[in-house]
Every structure is written in C-alpha cells, then in structure tokens.
Amino acid sequence: GAGVSQSPSNKVTEKGKDVELRCDPISGHTALYWYRQSLGQGLEFLIYFQGNSAPDKSGLPSDRFSAERTGGSVSTLTIQRTQQEDSAVYLCASSLARGRYETQYFGPGTRLLVL
Amino acid sequence: GENVEQHPSTLSVQEGDSAVIKCTYSDSASNYFPWYKQELGKGPQLIIDIRSNVGEKKDQRIAVTLNKTAKHFSLHITETQPEDSAVYFCAASITGTASKLTFGTGTRLQVTL
C-alpha cells in the first residue's frame, strides 16, 4: 500500500518568509510525528499527534513553529518568519499506535533551504 | 529526557566482512529500540527492532543485541554487501506514553569492494 507522503519534496525560501510543509500519513495510522534532520545530524523530535488527544509539542524549537492535523489524517507543519538555521530536512512519520509497540514509518522528507 | 549516543560515526568495511554499530541510552525506562537505514535522499527505513523483554533478535544478515543492565544495544551486519552502504540510526523510546523516538547521531557505513 501507499506509504507516508510529504510535499513539497524541496522548498527554497527567503529569510523571513513563512512556509507550510504537508504530510499524508499511511491510511489508518492514528499517530503522526514530525522530526527535523539537520545536515549530518540525527533526527530531532518536533511534535506528535495521537488521535484526538492534545499534541505533544515539547520538541518545537520556538513559537515560530506550529503544526496541525486536520480530520485525524493530513498534517501541516508551519514555520513562520523562517531563519537560515531552519534549513534542514523535515521528516514525517506515522504509526498504528496500537498495542504496546508502535513502529514508525517515515516519509521521504521535505528539504527546506532558507536563503 | 532520554539521550542516545551512537558509535562510530563512520565505518568502512570490505565486502563480506561484518559491521557492528553500538548505541547507549540513558533512560532505564526505555523499552523499544529500533534501527533505521537511510539512503541518500530518502527517509529512514526500519530494518530491525528489539523490545526490552528479549536480548537478541536476528533477521537474515542483520542482528541486534540488547543489554538492559548496561543500557546498550548493538547492530550487527554480517556478510556485508555494497547495497548495505547507507547511514544507520539507532533510536530508543518509552512506549505506552508519548512514543517519540530519541535518535542517535547516525553511522555512515561504507562497504567497499
């Protein structure tokens, strides 16, 4: 079946502009995660949605970052007033979130470059 | 919070040799340890995982071991092939609560002919 999809695959923007990144999780997956991967670094947790529960926003680096998940499916990560240090690959993952262990499946990522 | 350290950062082996990547974690409550492989320009793909109630798991040429007492886990790849060349990430999480993964910083594996 279809995996996690993300759009756009690449985004170049100017410092100070806002950007929106989209994630379509695997159908039926109730949990959705956003991570950030800076060049040559590991993955940094940003935010986590689980069903109708309040999201875990503990990883968001500043109030310029926000995310929403509409209808329990598609999610949008918004970065306002982008800075050069926001340049990174933004990865989305989803999981069934059933049972005790929930495998996370990742999308291909959106490569963001802030000039 | 959880902290995961991963070594080495780069690893070069000859085709057919074995490769070992090691990770340590700090939170004794962590109970789920997946390994991901990331090829250039792609998202991470799960290759194997281990739960805290087992010490070892194998899947063909890949194995993972877990030592809960020492809080470390390792990935073993035997009979390496050129297509094994990629960046490998270990991760840890506490499932049943907020299941966010804490990742290591990655190991770039290069398998040479």
Q: For B22-80, write each residue's pLDDT tens digit.
A: 999 999 999 999 999 999 989 999 999 998 888 999 999 999 999 999 999 999 999 99
Do the chains contact at B43 and A31, CB–CB below 8 Å? no
* Res A111: pLDDT: 96
Does A103 sit within 8 Å of B96, measured CB to CB? no
Residue of A nearest to B106 (CA): A42
Of A42, A59, A100, the CB nearest to B104: A42
Give the model's confidence band at A64: pLDDT under 50 very low, under 70 low, under 90 confident, else very high: very high
Q: Is residue B97 predicted with pLDDT exceeding 60? A: no
User: Which tokens in the block code for residue A107?
Assistant: 């999308």
pLDDT band at B13, cuts 50/70/90?
very high
As a whole number of angstroms, the distance between CA A6 and CA A21 comes to: 8
- Mean pLDDT over the full length of chain A: 91
Residue matched to tokens 């194998």: B58
Positions of E strands within B26-93:
32-38, 45-51, 56-59, 62-67, 72-77, 86-92
Q: Are B93 and B100 in contact (CB under 8 A)?
A: yes
Q: How far apart (Å, rounded) are the C-alpha atoms in residues B106 and A66?
A: 27
CA B91/CA A90 separation, integer angstroms: 17
- Secondary structure percentages of chain A, helix, strand, coil, to 5: 5, 45, 50
Interval A55-80 mean pLDDT: 93
Q: Which residue of A has its CA nearest to B31?
A: A101
Quote the CA–CA distance of A7 and A101 in Å, as a whole number: 28
User: Which residues of chain A make contact with B6, given a CB cutoff of 8 A?
Assistant: 42
Q: What is the CB neighbour count within 10 angstroms for residue A29?
A: 19
Please say if the pLDDT value at position A9 is more than 80: yes
* pLDDT of A27 higher than 70: yes
Contact criterion met (CB below 8 Å) for B73 and B50: yes
> Residue B2 and residue A55: Cα distance in Å, rounded?
19
Do B54 and B73 form a contact (C-beta atoms < 8 A)?
no
Band the pLDDT of A42: cuts 50, 70, 90.
confident
